[in-house]
Structure 1
């Protein structure tokens, strides 16, 4: 299969989109593959092949830095949008922070003579 410019651009778009959300691990490849399948449904490509193609495209300098930055900006929301999303999420959890925190606390019962006698 011959990769044309648009296919390479879409591969990089999905890479930037997924890696913008996730910074570690290899689970990003499955998400990248599903996003690519939405953009290019007629192209049968495996997760591995897509990951290899993204790596090859970035290393071989098919696109210059300005084009890579443009593709990254298209794929990742602007910092303003990200900040607004973070603020909205913060406000949603601010409503009951003590209840949420209390739900995750382990119950610790100190060992005393009275407790041990009660258990027996």
Structure 2
């Protein structure tokens, strides 16, 4: 398969989108592969092949620093308030409050003795 500039850019978009969403590196290749399949539905590449290609692109300067940064910004939502949905932040805070409240609830166990 011949990797064009557009396909290389889509591989990096999938990589940056995946890495931007998670703090750890667990199962990022499978998610990156799914994102890439959304961007390039007509191509069939393995997770390993895609991961190898992304590593090659990043280490061989296929794209300049400015282009890499542009692709990263386009793929990863900004952390400022304008990039998030209106209800997104309150929902996360609300979920945390429910978890905290659930932890502090005392449990009463009734034991029947004969």
Same structural fold, with TM-score higher than 0.5 when normalized by the shorter chain = yes
Q: Could you tell me which runs of 5 or more consecutive residues in structure 1 were left unpaired when the two chains were aligned.
A: 110-117
Give the aligned partner of residue 18 of structure 1.
Answer: 18
Instruction: Quote the residue 2:102 is aligned against.
Output: 103
User: Which structure features the higher share of helix residues?
Assistant: 1
Alpha-carbon distance in 2 for matches of 1:96, 1:3: 44
Determine the structure 2 residue equivalent to 1:79. 79
Residue 95 of structure 1: how far off its partner (Å): 8.6
Describe the SS at the equivalent of 2:80: helix
8 Å Cα contact 2:14-2:32 kept in structure 1: yes
| Number of residue pairs aligned between Structure 1 and Structure 2 | 110
What is aligned with 1:31? 31
Partner of 1:50: 50
Q: Quote the RMSD (CA, aligned, Å).
A: 2.9
SS in 1 for 2:100: helix
Q: TM-score, normalised by structure 2?
A: 0.78
Using the size of structure 1 for normalisation, the TM-score is 0.75
Equivalence for 1:91: 90
Consecutive unaligned residues of structure 2, counting only runs of 5 or more, are: none
CA distance in 2 between partners of 1:96 and 1:25 (Å) = 23
